[in-house]
Structure 1
């Protein structure tokens, strides 16, 4: 599984884990599914341990990904958006999506964190 996570997303996930009192074993359980105008919905929670069927992904932060969500994370980019009108964590999947909506496009500065 190849996942890229932007610096802004890493900062957000680390901050959420700290705010929730997470230990070193804690991580963010990240659920992605069909739906929403961008073709995918995202839900997350900070948890101390992954569920038995979760895949653990680590790169500066720990993500716990449910087995049924793994296809959405193939060649995915995890990004955090914070503007005056919205704050959200998004997963842009490498999985083919026939939805023509442009909502899932990363902002131009995503590589700069």
Structure 2
């Protein structure tokens, strides 16, 4: 069964912190682009909504996924992790057949 991506509470909380720090209430855009070391790569950035976006919202925070990227992100989980190497938004994508060590590139 295909489901839209899910955003964890931790990711929404971090987005709220970023918006508070920057004073700019932008949404988090998660997109898939061609390229990277495995064929596709994630583009995660702050952005404004477009008319064709899927908007996932909680507590006033928004995560945007454009219609082209959506099929690549079915059933994925968008999370935020803090590790020794740094803190970042991560995508747990069951559609990816392989990914590379950087965590931003994958293949299907």
Does residue 1:31 correspond to 2:31, yes or no?
yes
Q: What CA distance in whole angstroms lies between the structure 1 residues aligned with 2:100 and 2:51?
A: 35
Count of aligned residue pairs for this structure pair: 100
Contact 1:42 1:90 in 2 (8 A): no
Q: Equivalent residue for 1:94?
A: 94
- In structure 1, the gaps of 5 or more residues are 105-113
Secondary structure at 2:32's aligned position in 1? strand
TM-score (norm 1): 0.66
Q: Equivalent residue for 1:84?
A: 84
Deviation readout 1:46-87 (Å, 9 max, x if unpaired): 23x312322212133311111211012211101112122122
- How does 1:13-92 map onto structure 2 within 5 Å? 13-23=15-25, 26-33=26-33, 36=36, 41-47=41-47, 49-60=48-59, 61-92=61-92
Contact 1:28 1:62 in 2 (8 A): yes
The more displaced of 76-85 and 59-68 is: 59-68
Q: What CA distance in whole angstroms lies between the structure 2 residues aligned with 1:21 and 1:75?
A: 32
Q: Comparing both structures, which one devotes a greater share of its residues to strand? A: 2
- In structure 2, the gaps of 5 or more residues are 104-108
TM-score (norm 2): 0.68
Q: What CA distance in whole angstroms lies between the structure 2 residues aligned with 1:15 and 1:86?
A: 16
